[in-house]
Amino acid sequence: MKREEVLAGIDYLSRRDPVLREVIERVGNFALQRERDIFTALVSAIISQQISTGAARSIYGRLCERVGGEKGLLDGLLKLSAEELRGVGVSPQKQRYLKDLAEKVSGGEVHLAALGEMSNDEIIAELTKIKGIGVWTVHMLLIFSLGRLDVFPGGDFGVRTAIQRLYRKRKLPSKPAQLRKFEKLWQPYASIASWYCWRSLEFEEYKRKQAKP
């Protein structure tokens, strides 16, 4: 995301959505940290499934150490045995996912180098060929690795929770029609809007902690 695009997006969202404008004013500058290497991002995403951030970081670190660093992940995952992967903390199910990722990338079935030229929908179709990679994971990669401006991760619990709180919904929005309303409201800068939704939850949590005696 280029700075001028982000500034244009913030200005657009502030004018179009008064609720989000208040969030932007509270949270401040947009500061998205991108993970530009798609393969390492996919490995990390698979390892992170259904475990804590701390545990995932530890397993990922041990795996990288075992293969000689992040640059060795592709070859390492092709060569490591199930016992070796288990030794760094990778569960049997995630072993299958990681092996499938490495095999599809090395065999040319999944073309990571071509993702930059694809549309969002084409990228979703390409990456969900990999076992263990679903639409939510691809949405995160589109935002945090490829820096796409208009991604609406409607399946993300955090975004839906933020919508419920910010727009005073009685229930957590889950129906496609409910979510489509916000996707259309925020286009073509849904990624920026989603980032501010996540930050709004962190902001609320910070205020609660500060209010405790």
Q: Is 86's pLDDT higher than 60?
A: yes
Q: For 79-88, b where at least 16 C-beta lie within 10 A, e where not — what string?
A: ebeeeebeeb
**What mean pLDDT value characterizes the chain?**
92
The CA angle 97-32-127, to the nearest 5 degrees, is 25
Write out the residue range of the structural domain in which residue 55 sits.
Answer: 38-144
Percent over 90 (pLDDT), the chain: 84
CATH number at residue 167: 1.10.1670.40
- Could you tell me which of 2, 38, 33 has the C-alpha nearest to residue 116? 38
Same domain, 200 and 181: yes
Look up the pTM and report it. Answer: 0.86
Q: Is 205's pLDDT higher than 80?
A: no
pLDDT at 206: 52
CATH number at residue 130: 1.10.340.30
Same domain, 78 and 11: no
**Is residue 190 within 8 Å of residue 150, measured between CB atoms?**
yes
Which residues neighbour 211 within 8 Å (Cβ) at sequence distance 6 or greater? none
Which of 129, 144, 159 finishes a domain?
Answer: 144
What is the per-residue pLDDT across 175-185, written as a single tens digit (0 to 9) for each? 989 999 999 99
Give me the phi and psi of 152, to 5 degrees please: -110, 100
Q: Is 203's pLDDT higher than 80?
A: no
